[in-house]
């Protein structure tokens, strides 16, 4: 019999509960006990935040958004701000206390579901001797180590649904609608939802855009008797002449940082330059919520089941990943470093150009591969 | 045989196409011809903008958002800005020209689908002798003359779906989520979607809110081990101490007008006063788009069919309306004046208070009716 | 302080949980306690089946299908089959025991949510002295006493969504698709979903159909270059020459009862008579499940809140109902008797005929009202 | 300038129109003309069935189900039944005529979107000298040559949505719900939707099932206080003692063929053997209809764009396919032969077992990989 503790950390991604569901069921089959640590490491700091998870507790949660464990950020255990008696804030390292609690409760493994921040902390605990298995969570789908992460498909579905809704209004009113979607460093959500939603323009961090190219595309639409346009912008998109936006990348070396979201800026410029009635919308947190899609449920369930198999194989300090339709284990330390950006010769980029979508760049003829 | 011309004007509301569908089918049954005037009165100004509508042309459109006729505002025909030879803008009245075209094309009736602006223009044409039937369109459901308008149910469904999505994230992260929905002058969308979406707070123009009451409700949640909250705000909500917001009502007599949307202001105040992690979201045009719900399709189809019956009965200068599940005809002049506001003793308001929703007012015990 | 017990009985209808949610919240406001009796009268037969309901227990349930109390039919307490020691089944009346338990637990009121069967039982308990409030539940929307019941809008939405899905296939393959929807005695679901879904034919129990009229309509479609058709059939539809179907009404006086569903029979006849590729589908239980629509959530919440107000007013042996947008109380005994059938001069019937939908009857010219 | 003709053949799969959309746009970029042949080879048999496809014609169709070209089976051109003057049916080969028409209209390439039947015909035309590019279409996702086909994700989403809906009713009423989904020869749809929908039992053609194992699982549920169950059955599932079903595989060597669908049979057996209230439902054509999911739109658009690139590269008699996230070309002749069945050591099968889903087999301990 083994005792497993599971935690969720960082931002929301539909599918977190499905991972928990699979872990609890897979452990049940083996006669193991599962405990949930609330609010990240909360349950390992304070035993009152630790809850026993039975089959009954996880009934039906594979289909729900959010996480039953909560993921309020209670800070990094290796450098946690604590108020001392004098009322001053001190940074303390409480990792030893957490490790002691982990051992005292006789846990055999910690399954940490989280983004790069949470996984890095998990890796540091692994180095201190805690048997840790990671499950990657990033709604942006930008981890090199795994071909897909859960939550992304749901975010793209929500964004595409919003674009679909805006289409009818844009068309009826000869309007330009600018939709800002998530993606600070990578344009995956914008690219997927923009192509699927029939966007005219898609702007992503990987391809700095020229607003004149965008306006040219909108003007070109009119030649085909299409007097409206849909522009999808990743929040981290930047201009080719060096403008970044404060909800955007904040990347060093940018000459100019504009206050306000990039979507609003793009909408204002289009309005000024084309005289078209132009509106903008920020999808924001809608993309992180809701019932996970079939794809995300299935992937998250597979991640959870594979994580439990990894305990048996004792491949600790590793993270579960999807590679060529198979579950594999990759060292956490490696996994969290390499980010996956949209590559200009990716087939999706090629498809976008071929079906006439403007990507904001100088319109260089794409190579017909 | 009769010849009918139909037009759509003003903002988008899911169901416009269903009205057109029903008009075309109902006329077809009677052997009448239907023409569509594009962009409001466009087809009556310029014959190139007039299109013949057959059964084939309207196939499947009952289920689509937007309007196949377009509703770009080409201005009020009674006071249209026109550029003269000297490049100056002059206001001219082209209503006579439109009436002449209407007669020259031998139309028997004009079915005008539109909001109060469009209906008022329709009424003025009726006074000039054009046989006009109105079909009311307001996504806010705030017309006194008809118990429901199409588009409202779809807007509420979209808002409720968004609130549902935000719930999981709010709960997982112990957050306050503020959602700003449509409703400049009336709180119907906020009230319906807020109750249906399990909101903790609903702020509407009809009940000026005290931000302290809002914060009290959020604090109260914690006592029931609920560490998150959903706040739904109509864009026209105002504070009890006289603040209005620039996406809000702009009502005279307000002491103070705050720049920016009311949702963002409410979120900032909650964050400041409660220290809760608080985010805001503006749903905007999402609420006007998309496939109409079953309810809206059915209501719009009934409106269209009833409008055609009114032609037979020659009840011109009247508008179709729903009253006690029946279609009735009301004089346009009357209909456009009376707006329906949320009444404090409406059963929905009562229900909201009874199930513990804060409406932002001073917490006076509601009368148990 | 009062103690309230609530129960749910009979078939599923989306919104049951929303009623429970509103009752628990409305009672909480008044400082009252609420208990749930599982499986209908289960908790009043056996105290182990009685559960305390707090705000925490009902968190989020307004948006879920089914009922947290279960509604497995444990039989009519006034004539319950019980196995005696000799292994024989005897019918016994355990209503006195239930009443005794109700009094022993010091309940002040029983809120019974249920269909006509459950409400009739509730009424008999009321006559024996139990303070009872009824909440009507019929997914078919066929109660005379209330203008709408919850669950109906969701069922119609599910049916319309299915019809929408079948449209694309029907059209691509020049097919006739026959969809059988719920409605043993009344055609409301078929009528609403059929009109909203753009059906060509709608067959309902209230209008016995002539299969030749149906085939004529399908042939007529081809003249307008429409080579497919959608036929929506209520499960209780019957033919004009006296055929009923075994999933149908079983009405007395019918000359002939056909084994199998009416949908399959209609599909077979169309295939035989028109040579069209024809398929049929039975929606069945899909219509009773799923997340309630906004409309159903709101109505159910209003019912729950109004039921609690009725306790205060001591209007026992009454049922909550919706009339002209207001909550009213009607005597249970009256309410359960009068059923609402589709009336031939209902505006929805008229609309269906006007937009060219065949209702299976002899094609008599409708009166243009 | 090139002239391309495109056709769609066989059963419906959401995404067909997205392929057409991408082909038309990709050709437009190159200055090529695209024509659509209606009803499979209809336009190549009879020029009246050939339509010009412009950007305007395909506006918005990437988001619609069905196919704008129709895919009514007009028969195999190599062995087409034709009625001669004497009224007898003769099988004739009209492929030469079709090839002649193709050449007379000066087409440069035929893009054939279809299942194995249509692709085999396309291959035979390629052997006769017609430049052909294939685009694979199978909603069952069972082609070896491509890791995914469009339509499958939508079918799975529809099936999962139905299972979600049935859950609430099953649970409220302590019922067993049996859902029969598509999959004559392979269990992909059942496996994906069953896992994602939280099924208790999944029965697929690849794993002959023992009904006693199914009943054991249902009994086992009760031990965890779960008194309901969801059983997902692929239409081609067979029993381990040699029963096949007439909507099932019809495979040779089966000892016994049962009339009626497998879902109904399974439901009846469960009812008989466990005394549980058990219902069954056949999803049927619902799975082929509706708006394609984001995934299917994106994949179909990529297929279309890649098919046009293949024309430039003159890789005729090849089919576009997805392999490791890249578009590749595979010879049609090879592609249509190899079918992909569910493999017992597939990670999805493993996951199903680990999270406690019964697959109907003898319960042999799975190998923990």
Cα–Cα dist A156/A296, whole Å: 11
| Predicted confidence (pLDDT) per residue in C152-190, tens digit | 999 999 999 999 999 988 999 999 999 999 999 999 999
Residue A110 annotated as binding site: no
Q: What count of residues does chain B have?
A: 369
Cα–Cα dist C237/A223, whole Å: 53
**Residue A336 in contact with residue A180, Cβ under 8 Å?**
no
Low-confidence ranges of chain B (pLDDT < 50): 248-252, 365-369
Please tell me which chains touch A, using 3 or more CB pairs under 8 Å as the contact test. Answer: B, D
* C356: chain B residues, CB-CB within 8 Å: 25, 28-29
**Contacts (Cβ under 8 Å, ≥6 apart) of C352:** C191, C194, C195, C202, C359
**Residue C360 in contact with residue C209, Cβ under 8 Å?**
yes
Smallest CA-to-CA distance from C123 within C333, C308, C313 is with: C333
Please name the residue that has the structure tokens 């002239």.
D3
Per-residue pLDDT band at D252 (split at 50, 70, 90): very low
Q: Which of A196, A291, A366 is most worth mutating to test chain D (most D CB atoms within 10 A of its CB)? A: A196
Q: Which of C67, C169, C282 sits opposite D289 (nearest CB)?
A: C169
Smallest CA-to-CA distance from D131 within D3, D8, D24 is with: D3
* Backbone dihedral angles phi then psi of residue D271, each to the nearest 5 degrees: -60, -45
Helix or strand run (H / E) with residue A215: helix A211-223
CATH code that applies to domain B3-150+292-335: 3.40.50.450
Q: Which of D25, D56, D295 sits opposite A355 (nearest CB)?
A: D25
**Residue C133 in contact with residue D253, Cβ under 8 Å?**
no
| Predicted confidence (pLDDT) per residue in C358-368, tens digit | 999 975 544 44
pLDDT of residue D247: 58
Q: Which of B26, B55, B355 sits opposite C25 (nearest CB)?
A: B355
Residue B56's closest chain C neighbor by CA? C224
Residue C161's closest chain D neighbor by CA? D290
| Predicted confidence (pLDDT) per residue in C69-93, tens digit | 987 666 789 988 888 888 888 889 9
> Which residue among the candidates D140, D142, D296, D317 is catalytic per the annotation?
D140
Give the pairing of strands D109-114 and D3-8: parallel
pLDDT of residue B14: 96
Per-residue pLDDT band at D249 (split at 50, 70, 90): very low
A80 — contact with chain B (CB < 8 Å)? no
* C11: chain D residues, CB-CB within 8 Å: 173
C66-75, C310-319, D209-218, D274-283: least confidently modelled range: C66-75
Q: Note whether B282 contacts A281, CB cutoff 8 Å.
A: yes
| Predicted confidence (pLDDT) per residue in B111-164, tens digit | 999 998 899 999 999 999 999 999 999 999 998 899 999 999 999 999 999 999
D340 — contact with chain A (CB < 8 Å)? no
Residue D339: C-alpha distances to residues D144, D335, D342 (Å):
5, 9, 10
Q: Note whether A298 contacts D60, CB cutoff 8 Å.
A: no
Q: Which of A66, A164, A171 sits opposite B172 (nearest CB)?
A: A66
Cα–Cα dist D53/D60, whole Å: 13
Cα–Cα dist B59/D255, whole Å: 50
pLDDT of residue A337: 81
Distance from the D31 Cα atom to the nearest Cα atom in chain C, whole angstroms = 29
| Predicted confidence (pLDDT) per residue in D209-245, tens digit | 999 999 999 999 988 889 999 999 999 999 999 899 8
Question: Helix or strand or coil: residue B110?
Answer: strand
Q: Which of B192, B325, B351 sits opposite C294 (nearest CB)?
A: B192
Cα–Cα dist B181/A132, whole Å: 44
Smallest CA-to-CA distance from D135 within D260, D320, D346 is with: D320
Q: Which of A193, A225, A308 sits opposite D294 (nearest CB)?
A: A193
Distance from the A369 Cα atom to the nearest Cα atom in chain B, whole angstroms = 37
Residue A315 annotated as binding site: no
Residue B139 annotated as binding site: yes
Residue D318: C-alpha distances to residues B365, D129, D306, D313, D332 (Å):
75, 13, 12, 11, 5
D72 — contact with chain C (CB < 8 Å)? yes
Question: Helix or strand or coil: residue A152?
Answer: helix
C35 — contact with chain B (CB < 8 Å)? no
Count CA atoms within 13 Å of residue A13 on its CB side.
29
Q: Note whether C354 contacts B26, CB cutoff 8 Å.
A: yes
D124 — contact with chain C (CB < 8 Å)? no
Q: Note whether C165 contacts D286, CB cutoff 8 Å.
A: yes
Helix or strand run (H / E) with residue C6: strand C3-8
pLDDT of residue C367: 44
Residue D45 annotated as binding site: no
Cα torsion A317, A322, A326, A329 to 10°: value is -10
**Residue C51 in contact with residue C38, Cβ under 8 Å?**
yes
**Contacts (Cβ under 8 Å, ≥6 apart) of D280:** D177, D178, D179, D180, D261, D263, D264, D266, D267
Please name the residues between 133 and 192 in chain C that touch chain D, using a CB distance below 8 Å. Answer: 158, 162, 164-169, 171-174, 177
Low-confidence ranges of chain A (pLDDT < 50): 248-252, 365-369
Please name the residue that has the structure tokens 């859950």.
D167
Assess whether the region C3-150+292-335 and the region C153-289+343-354 belong to the same CATH fold: yes
Question: Helix or strand or coil: residue C282?
Answer: strand
Sequence spans of domains, chain C: 3-150+292-335, 153-289+343-354
Cα–Cα dist A29/B273, whole Å: 49
Per-residue pLDDT band at C250 (split at 50, 70, 90): very low
CB–CB contacts below 8 A, B to C: 129
N-to-C CA span, chain D: 55
CATH code that applies to domain B153-289+343-354: 3.40.50.460
Beta strands in B196-316 (DSSP E): 201-203, 229-234, 243-245, 256-258, 278-282
N-to-C CA span, chain C: 56
% of chain D residues with pLDDT over 70: 95
**Contacts (Cβ under 8 Å, ≥6 apart) of A52:** A33, A34, A35, A36
**Residue A361 in contact with residue A210, Cβ under 8 Å?**
yes
Q: Note whether A165 contacts B282, CB cutoff 8 Å.
A: no
Q: Tokens at residue C130, please?
A: 């139990």
Q: Note whether C173 contacts D70, CB cutoff 8 Å.
A: yes
Smallest CA-to-CA distance from D336 within D124, D98, D129, D74 is with: D124
| Predicted confidence (pLDDT) per residue in C2-52, tens digit | 999 999 998 899 999 999 999 999 999 999 999 999 999 999 998 889 999
pLDDT of residue C294: 96
Q: Taking 80 as the threshold, does the pLDDT of residue D268 lie above it?
A: yes
Per the prediction, chain D carries an average pLDDT of: 91
Q: Which of C169, C230, C282 is most worth mutating to test chain D (most D CB atoms within 10 A of its CB)? A: C169
Q: How many helices (H) and strands (E) does chain D have?
A: 11, 15
B367 — contact with chain C (CB < 8 Å)? no
Distance from the C167 Cα atom to the nearest Cα atom in chain B, whole angstroms = 9
**Contacts (Cβ under 8 Å, ≥6 apart) of C146:** C136, C319, C320, C321, C322, C323, C330, C335
* Backbone dihedral angles phi then psi of residue A192, each to the nearest 5 degrees: -65, -50
Residue D206: C-alpha distances to residues D235, D240, D326, D335, D364 (Å):
12, 11, 29, 21, 16
Q: Taking 60 as the threshold, does the pLDDT of residue C233 lie above it?
A: yes
Residue A256 annotated as binding site: no
* C306: chain B residues, CB-CB within 8 Å: 347, 351
| Predicted confidence (pLDDT) per residue in C272-285, tens digit | 999 999 999 999 99
Beta strands in chain B (DSSP E): 3-8, 33-37, 50-53, 80-83, 89-92, 109-114, 132-136, 176-181, 201-203, 229-234, 243-245, 256-258, 278-282, 318-323, 326-331
Q: ipTM value of the model?
A: 0.92
Distance from the D69 Cα atom to the nearest Cα atom in chain C, whole angstroms = 7
Smallest CA-to-CA distance from D35 within D10, D9, D5 is with: D5
Q: Note whether B297 contacts C196, CB cutoff 8 Å.
A: yes
Smallest CA-to-CA distance from C183 within C138, C117, C234, C144 is with: C234
Residue D127 annotated as binding site: no
* B173: chain A residues, CB-CB within 8 Å: 11-12, 70-72
Sign of the C-alpha dihedral computed for residues A237, A242, A247 and A251 taken in this order: positive
| Predicted confidence (pLDDT) per residue in B51-99, tens digit | 999 999 999 999 999 999 987 666 789 988 888 888 888 889 999 999 9
């Amino acid at each position: 019999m083994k005792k497993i503790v599971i935690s969720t950390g960082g931002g929301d991604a539909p599918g977190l509960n499905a991972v928990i569901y699979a872990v609890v069921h897979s452990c049940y089959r083996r006669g193991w006990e599962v405990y949930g640590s609330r609010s990240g490491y909360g349950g390992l700091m304070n035993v009152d935040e630790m809850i026993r998870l039975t089959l009954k507790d996880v009934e039906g949660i594979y289909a729900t958004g959010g996480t039953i464990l909560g993921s309020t950020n209670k800070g990094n255990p290796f450098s946690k701000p604590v108020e001392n008696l004098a009322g001053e804030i001190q940074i303390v390292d409480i990792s030893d206390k957490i490790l002691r609690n982990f051992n005292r409760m006789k846990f055999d493994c910690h399954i940490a579901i989280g983004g790069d921040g949470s996984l890095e902390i998990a890796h540091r605990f692994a180095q201190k001797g805690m048997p840790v298995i990671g499950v990657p969570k990033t709604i942006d789908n930008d981890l090199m180590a795994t071909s897909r992460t859960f939550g992304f498909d749901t975010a793209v579905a929500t964004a595409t649904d919003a674009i679909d809704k805006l289409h009818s209004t844009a068309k009826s009113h000869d309007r330009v609608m600018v939709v800002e979607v998530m993606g600070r460093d990578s344009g995956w959500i914008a690219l997927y939802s923009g192509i699927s939603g029939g966007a005219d323009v898609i702007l992503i961090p990987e391809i700095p855009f020229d607003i004149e190219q965008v306006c040219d595309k909108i003007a070109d639409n009119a030649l085909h008797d299409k007097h409206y346009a849909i522009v999808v912008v990743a929040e981290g998109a930047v201009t080719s002449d060096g403008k970044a936006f404060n909800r955007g990348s904040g990347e060093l070396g940018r000459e100019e940082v504009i206050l306000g979201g990039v979507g609003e800026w793009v909408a204002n410029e289009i309005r000024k330059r084309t005289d078209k009635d132009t509106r903008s919308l920020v999808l924001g947190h809608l993309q992180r919520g809701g019932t996970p899609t079939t794809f995300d449920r299935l992937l998250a369930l597979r991640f959870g089941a594979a994580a439990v198999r990894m305990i048996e194989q004792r491949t600790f300090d590793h993270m579960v990943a999807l590679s060529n339709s198979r579950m594999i284990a990759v060292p956490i330390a490696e996994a969290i470093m390499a980010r996956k950006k949209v590559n200009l010769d990716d087939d999706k980029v090629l498809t976008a150009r071929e079906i006439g979508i403007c990507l904001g760049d100088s319109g260089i003829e794409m190579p017909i591969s």
